[in-house]
Structures are given as C-alpha cells and as structure tokens.
Amino acid sequence: MQTDRIDSGILQRLAADARASVSRIASEVGLSQSACTRRIQALEAAGLIEGYGARLGHKRLGFHVTALVDITLGTQVEEDLAQFESAVAGIDGVVECALVSGAQDYRLKIVCRDLDDYERLHREHLGRLPGVITISSSFVLRAVPTRGEADALFGGAK
C-alpha cells in the first residue's frame, strides 16, 4: 500500500496515542471523521497497523531489572529455530525475541522483578532452552528516551 502525508499523520498520531479518538485524528490531519475511519481501516487491512497496545511502566509494576540476553544456538536449521522460538514464547518475562545477524542468533529482552528473579529465570528457563550453546546477559542501566516509532519512521512529519 502506498502511503501519503495524511496516512503518515494518522500513523504518527496513533503510534503516539493509540487511544486518540478518530474525531481528534481527523481534525488534526484535515479529514472528515468518516474519511479518517476509512483510512485507518485501510491501514489496518494492509498490515501497516498491526495492533494497538499500552506501554507499561515496568518499574511501577515491580519489574526493576531489564536484561538484554544474546543467545547462540548449535545450529541454524529451521526446525531448531522454530523449536527454540516456541519454547521462548512460553517464558514469562520475555517481552521481545528477535532472530538477529552477527555472532549470536537471538536477542531477548526480559523484564524481572530483581536480580534474584533473573537468576531464577536463567536457571529454570534460559539454561534449558533447546539448542542453546551460549547465553550472554547485559543489564539495562538506563533506558534513553527516543523519538517514538512514528517520528523515527516518518521524520516527525504531521
């Protein structure tokens, strides 16, 4: 789907606030409410909007440790990758899993209550994942605010 300035404006506003009303978005991008609704539905149908969600305050919810975990597998056979991915999907605390290029095969983002919780997760889950050869963990000291997804993709155009 080819997007234009109006689509970009809609995407930017929804990425910044998924709860924004259609009437507010329509007003800000210069469309009628019905035209804006049709545009949003077309963006959803084309897969440009994959879903809506809330950004959770991990620390306020009691998850004070964020770990970035690099994992290397013994093979890169598709069946082994699928088995690993299926096993990771069942681990509480894993908020992101990405197959990556480079020396490692996967990078996980994990949130835990504290270091003891991470140690338990490592012992009970990560160390038992199928095909794992190495696990390397780094801990986030501070998350640096970024521009946001839509601003990064569309250069802040409104």
Residues 57-113 pLDDT 10s: 999 999 999 999 999 999 999 999 999 999 999 999 999 999 999 999 999 999 999
In a shared domain, residues 69 and 114: yes
Q: How many structural domains does the chain have? A: 2
The answer to whether residue 157 scores a pLDDT higher than 90 is no
CATH code, 121: 3.30.70.920
Q: What is the pTM of this model?
A: 0.82
Exposed/middle/buried for residue 84 (C-beta within 10 Å: 0-12, 13-18, 19+) = buried
Report how far residue 46's alpha carbon sits from residue 65's, in angstroms, rounded to the nearest whole number: 36
Q: Which domain holds residue 105?
A: 65-139
**5-45 pLDDT tens trace:** 999 999 999 988 899 999 999 999 999 999 999 999 999 99
Same domain, 26 and 82: no
Sign of CA pseudo-dihedral 29, 31, 33, 37: negative
Radius of gyration of the chain (CA): 20
Residue 148 included in any domain: no
| Pair (72, 49) in one structural domain | no
Domain assignment present for 119? yes
